[in-house]
Each structure stands twice: as C-alpha cells, then as structure tokens.
Structure 1
C-alpha cells in the first residue's frame, strides 16, 4: 500500500497572540492603579490606629476592584474580540468576590478601629457611625446590596435561579456602585486631603462608568440605527431546530466574524424584552446574517413563528471564538449538539486542511448536517459524525488520536454543552495539545 503524505505548509510567523496582549494590558492597568492607590494612601498620612488604617486601605482597594469589575463587563469590542465575553464575565465574577471581601474587611476594621478609640462595643460603634456620619449609611446599604449580589452569584444559588431573575438582581450592583462612590467622595481620606488623588478617583470612576455606557448603550444603539435589521426568512431545519435570516443596511460594515454571537431581540409584542444569545451559523457575507436555534423552552420554540419583516435589535458581535486566534495552518473542529452553529460558520471561513468531528446522540440530532457535508466536500474537510450515548466517552484521548493522529499539530476549536466541552478539553490536555492551540466556547450564556 502506498502512503500519500500531505505536505504541510509552514506555520504562520511567530507573533504575540492577541489574547496575551489583551490580558497583559488588563494586568498592567490593574497593577499600575494598585500602585497609584497605595501611594495616595500613604500620602494621606498615617494618623489613625492600625485597624482604621488597614480598613481605609481595604476600602480603597475595594473601590478600585469595583471600577475594574465594571471594565470587565463593559463589552468593549477590543477586549471582547481578544478575550471573549465568557472569560471576561468569569473574571468579573471572581473580581466581584474580591470586592465583597475587601469591603467587608473595610467595614469591620473601621468599626473595630473606632470602637478601640471610643471604648464603645463594636455593634454600638457601628450604629453610631451609620447614623451620625454623613454618607456612611449609604455605604452600609451599598455593602448590603453587594452581599446580596454575591450570594445570588454563588454557584449553589445561581443554578436555582433563572437567568432573567439573576440578571435583574445583578442590576442592583450599579446602585451599589453609585452609593459607594458617593460615600468615597464625601468621607474618603484621599478625596478630602489631596486634589491630585481627587482628580484621579474622578477620572477612574468616569472611565469605568463611561466604558459601560459606551459598550452597553452607545455602540448597540449606533449599530442598530445604522443597520436597521429585519427578519428576512424563517426556515425550519427540523422539528426542533429553526434558522432565522436577518438582513439590513450596510451589513458589509458590521464587524462580525464567523464564530461570534449576538444577543438578539425580536421586536414583537411578546418578545421585545427578551435578549437571547445565538451564534452566527453561517459566515457573514455582507448581505445577511443567519442564526440557528434549537428548541429549549417556550422562548426558543416561538422563534419559528416570528413574522418575516420583524425588526431586530442585536447587541454584538461578541466572542473571541474566531480565526483571529489561530496559531497553526491546520485545524480540528469539535462540535457537540447545537454547538455546531459557530463551528459551521468557522468552517466556511477557514483556510488550510480541517477535520470536523460532530458529536451527537443520534443521527437525527445532527443539525445542518447536509450543509456540513456539502461544505466539507467543497473544502476538502474530513467530516466525522460520532453518535451514541454520552458514556462511554467516544471523544476520549485514544479515540481522538485515532481520528486525528496529528492533533497536536493543529489548532483545535471546541464548542458544545458544558459537560462535553470539559471532557474534550481534558482529552486534549492528556494528548499534549499545547494550551495556545486550544480555543473553546462553552455553549451557555456568559455569566
């Protein structure tokens, strides 16, 4: 038997990866501001006892983390395309716990520090501070709101709440930010003793809140006013899957890439208030956008009944699951269930040899499979449909190595249900695929 060996094109020139640049930038911004805040703290003087001083420093760090937390969820395009909404939101969550603990520390140390000076019991001292010093009560309310948001964001609570309920409660974090900032302006040592520090804090909070306003209000409104999106076709793909085509003006100027997603609002009387995240299921071509959704409840079931011509308000595009992050000339694409939608769009855009593994329970669950076969044939892609129950794992390391012997030489894009994605990532690590070659999107709403 004669073996035909495919000649590999040379890998792309070495360069600093966009994700590394963005992460380093965020770390540098945070680190620089920590240094500045610490300098201002010491410049304000050390005229109190140790507990009060530590409490003030904890409060300053808590305020800084709160501003940084806002930046992480501002949905600024430059950060989102390089890091991805899912990771930014995960970092936002962990920074939120940092905010919680630094502000709790601030409250406790300040209370015990002043109790030490006044000889009052800590509880009585806390009540006196809250009722006699202007704006301290606002800080107490802010901390109560932050604790409430922290509790509902913990995993045990988050799993029991609908996204809409969790999101509504989470909006109170903005109220907490404003209350905490007003407290800092009124009684914060750096605000009252240093004009330079005052200007710094106003600039910091202005930049943080301005970023949120820009990314979450200005850019979505501007893009939707420009592009005037409307539903142009609703195409059932199967009994429980539907594709929706969207057209508009100047779509060639919309900065969307294969692999990204939008938060879609279909402006009917029943659905205008619902924003659902759906990936593009076809590479943007400048003429139309397509999303493909599987029924997962009443909301998605109603998508097939949306009238043609319905106005659409789309926030995005979001996500770093794009070819921007490729490091190798060849690619392995692994999709599970309806996670095939961004993978199918990526396949359309990719150059170089690709292998696509599509994991589903049964053949009937293979969404857009006819399209995949045609696209794979046109591009010379190896297409593997892997069916069967979740156990045993058919994408275990040995199975992946048999299907794709050169897996370690490829970029790997993974999208599917969280359980499948986690299992595939473990298999890739066991096979020794370098971390920088693994790109994944967890098929769930960020947050």
Structure 2
C-alpha cells in the first residue's frame, strides 16, 4: 500500500470581510463569445448579399471559386481580430482560448483558400485549352493581382505547415513567431488581389466601401491592441525593477514599480509579457503571472528556473527598465458565479492562485499540490494569507502516481465542491487530471476556471 500523503490543514479563522459581489445574470464570457460568433456570421451574410447582387456567371466552378475566396478573406480578417489582444475580449475569453480559435480558424482558412485556387484553376481551364496548372501560370502572368494571390497562398501554406502540432513542438517560439510574421505579408498581398480583380467589389461602390471598412477595422484592431496600447501604457507607467528576491534555489520574485500604477487595469490572476531591457534579454518576452494582487504601487512576478530566460531573472539589477505587454488573461474573479471558491494550484502555478486568494471575497479553500515540501513556493505567504482571510489551506505532497487529486480525495477535502467556483492552475498534466476529477464530481462547467498560457503570432 502507498502511505497517505502528508496534508497540512489550517482551521478557518473568522474574519470580517466585505460581502461577495452577486454573480451577474449573464456571464461575461457568454456575452463576449456571442459577440465574437456574431461578427463573422454577420459579415458572411453581407458578403453573400453583395456576391448575389454582382451576379453568378455561367461557370459553376468559377462561381464556387469566387465564393470560397470571399469567405477565405473573411476568415483572414477574423484571424487578425483573434490575435489583436483587445483588452475587452481578452479579459472575458482569455488569450489561451482566443489562440486556440485562431489556430483552428487558420486551418479553415488554409482549406478555404485551397478550394478557391482549385475551383478557379479548373473553372478557367474549362473555358480554355489549358490544363489547370498552366491556367494558373497564365492568369498569374496576365491578370493583375493574381501573382500576388499565388504568393500569398504559398506563404499561408508555409505558415500552416509550421503551425501543425508535430512541427510546432520542434521549433523554438522565436523561430515559429518569425515565420508566422509572414502571415501579415500574405494579408496585404491577398487584400490587393481582392480589390484588383474581385468582381463582387469592383461592380459596386457600396461593396467596395464595405470591404475597405471591414479590413480597416481588422487592421486597426490589430495595430491598436498589439502596438499602440502597449506603447502608450509603457510610456505612461515607466516600469522599472525595484527589487529581486530569491524565494529558493530555483525560484525568484521580481518587484516592478512605475508611475500611476493605480491606473493600470490589472487584476489578480492575470499575466504580462515581460521584457527586461538588458543588453542580452531585451528582445525576449516571457509570460509570467502576477504573484500578488496589484496594489497600485507595485507589481510582482514569481518564476521558477526553466531555462536561460528565467535563470537570468535572478541577476536583474534594481532600476532595470521593463517593457510589459498586458495585462492579459481571463483567469480572474470577473468570472465568478458562486459566493464560495476552491483554488487548486500545482507547483509554480501557485503564483496566480496566491494573487487570487488575496482578492477574493467569500469563503475559500486552497489546495496546493507539490511533489515535496521543499517545492511549495510561496507557501509561508500563502499560509499567512489564508489565516488572515479565514480560508482553509491543504498542502498535498507526494509523487504524481497515484493521483492525489482524484475525485474521492477532492470530495473528502471539499465536500461541497459542486457548489463552489473552482480555479485551477498548474502543470498541464495535473490540470487535465483535476479537470477530469471535477467533471466526475458533477461541478458545472461554468464554475470551472482555468487558463493555459499560449501565445499566438
């Protein structure tokens, strides 16, 4: 038999707390998703109207080619919106889910554009004596904008290839991101092709105005979220490292201060993309969660050494300039649906959990899962905070097998788990196992909150 894990429990302490805010009737994530789904649906209807208004033509393959090309262009514009990192969407949906949608829409875009090329090639080949390949070559050499479309298609094909799971795992993020930037070149080439030869838009001034407005909004959102907003915030707040505090041999906390931090809309549970502007690290951005709730004066991140980037944090000097993009993430109290909460952390995933505990109102239970006592990062802080807020704290240690957070163990520690909001953050394997346990225990999906750090180009 495997001996039971050591579990440290702190009895709840009665404290005076502000009453929890009542849950909203309509969840913010539902509102954002509904709006996001409505955007491509509404634009698809508008494009279809203009397409029908322009006339079909006599060749069915060419008609299908034109229509798939239009829908492909819509997907391309939607791609830009998904990676624009607009705060309103990010706080309600989360960068991880937006990134996942971006990836799947990207594969849909690839197949749609492939259909566009095939239908157009075979359609025009029917009207001439050429085979489809030579027909494309002829169109590229004789029709304005077609060569640009061919180049754009092959660029998107290359980006799609390196975004496939088997290839993505073998590439460094920086390499993948650099290749991914060619998508923006493809966007420009594809757009100029559409306005040059797209009969749907050349036949109607209203359709042309709509198409320019659509792409203006998509590109404007991208520039606003990815360029203008980060630059403005960093110029305003003038972030600098104020202190570097080793938490253990492998874990370090970095304190960042700046101007008007009370005006920075950061919440416990969110993360930033941090660039520390030293000579050797200024070009690298790394996602680290806030490990303490923002107090309007200081931001704190805590990281475990997992490579050169995290190892270098220990050697930062006070006064080092910081460029931070964010805050990002939907792993916040904004999405609470119940007055009581369960917070489950694994390893260094305790950092956003610790920050959330500081902000949350209502009774909370915290479960901290680590391999051994020495791996419990920030545990002393967590224990003091739990004591001050009247929360229950369980430290669960031991090897990963057998599962220490199986349904029976979770039900023993938190009998009313199905009546609580549950926030989960930890290594992917642990997170997946805990989510499975929560489903078995009947915790409603809308009460389960988790976030996987994932960046998109």
Same-fold call, TM cutoff 0.5:
yes
Equivalent residue in structure 1 for 2:148, among 134, 138, 142: 138
- Could you tell me how far 1:79 is from its partner in structure 2? 0.4
Q: Is contact 1:418–1:443 with CA below 8 Å preserved after alignment?
A: no
Which SS does the other structure have where 1:238 is aligned? coil
Question: In structure 2, what is the equivalent of residue 211 of structure 1?
Answer: 221
Please identify runs of 4+ aligned residues in structure 1 that moved more than 4 A: 443-447
Q: Is contact 1:415–1:443 with CA below 8 Å preserved after alignment?
A: no
- Could you tell me how far 1:10 is from its partner in structure 2? 9.3
CA distance in 2, matches of 1:52, 1:163: 40
Equivalent residue in structure 1 for 2:284, among 274, 279, 294: 274
CA distance in 1, matches of 2:390, 2:118: 65
> Which structure carries more relative contact order (alpha carbon 8 Å, separation 6+)?
2
Which SS does the other structure have where 1:442 is aligned? coil
Question: More displaced, 127-136 or 179-188?
Answer: 127-136
Question: In structure 2, what is the equivalent of residue 305 of structure 1?
Answer: 315
Cα deviation digits, residues 306-332 of structure 1 (max 9, x gap) = 111000000000000000000000000
User: Structure 1's 348 and 202: CA in aligned 2 closer, same or farther, altered over 3 A?
Assistant: same
Q: How does 1:130-279 map to 2 (within 5 A)?
A: 130-279=140-289
Question: In structure 1, what is the equivalent of residue 103 of structure 2?
Answer: 93
CA distance in 1, matches of 2:129, 2:437: 61
User: Structure 1's 268 and 14: CA in aligned 2 closer, same or farther, altered over 3 A?
Assistant: closer
CA distance in 2, matches of 1:232, 1:25: 41
Equivalent residue in structure 2 for 1:382, among 365, 383, 392: 392
Equivalent residue in structure 1 for 2:91, among 78, 81, 87: 81
User: Structure 1's 291 and 211: CA in aligned 2 closer, same or farther, altered over 3 A?
Assistant: same
User: Structure 1's 426 and 181: CA in aligned 2 closer, same or farther, altered over 3 A?
Assistant: same
- Could you tell me how far 1:119 is from its partner in structure 2? 2.8
Cα deviation digits, residues 249-282 of structure 1 (max 9, x gap) = 0000000000000000001111110101000000
CA distance in 2, matches of 1:284, 1:10: 19
Question: In structure 1, what is the equivalent of residue 5 of structure 2?
Answer: none
Equivalent residue in structure 2 for 1:17, among 6, 21, 27: 27
Question: In structure 2, what is the equivalent of residue 356 of structure 1?
Answer: 366
With normalisation by structure 1, the TM-score equals: 0.97
Q: List runs of 5+ in structure 1 lacking aligned partners.
A: none
Question: In structure 2, what is the equivalent of residue 288 of structure 1?
Answer: 298
Equivalent residue in structure 2 for 1:68, among 78, 82, 102: 78
Alpha-carbon RMSD across the aligned residues, in angstroms, is 1.4
Question: In structure 2, what is the equivalent of residue 318 of structure 1?
Answer: 328
Q: Is contact 2:287–2:453 with CA below 8 Å preserved after alignment?
A: no
CA distance in 1, matches of 2:166, 2:440: 30
Aligned residue pair count: 441
Cα deviation digits, residues 363-382 of structure 1 (max 9, x gap) = 11111001011001111111
Equivalent residue in structure 2 for 1:422, among 415, 425, 432: 432
User: Structure 1's 445 and 29: CA in aligned 2 closer, same or farther, altered over 3 A?
Assistant: closer
CA distance in 2, matches of 1:122, 1:285: 64
Cα deviation digits, residues 93-122 of structure 1 (max 9, x gap) = 111111111100000000000001113111
Question: In structure 2, what is the equivalent of residue 343 of structure 1?
Answer: 353
Q: List runs of 5+ in structure 2 lacking aligned partners.
A: 1-11
Which SS does the other structure have where 2:291 is aligned? coil
CA distance in 1, matches of 2:339, 2:103: 35
User: Structure 1's 48 and 154: CA in aligned 2 closer, same or farther, altered over 3 A?
Assistant: same
CA distance in 1, matches of 2:406, 2:198: 56
- Could you tell me how far 1:446 is from its partner in structure 2? 6.0
Equivalent residue in structure 2 for 1:396, among 400, 403, 406: 406
Q: Is contact 1:58–1:106 with CA below 8 Å preserved after alignment?
A: yes
- Could you tell me how far 1:444 is from its partner in structure 2? 5.2
Question: In structure 1, what is the equivalent of residue 126 of structure 2?
Answer: 116
CA distance in 2, matches of 1:118, 1:446: 43
- Could you tell me how far 1:132 is from its partner in structure 2? 1.5
CA distance in 1, matches of 2:140, 2:48: 26
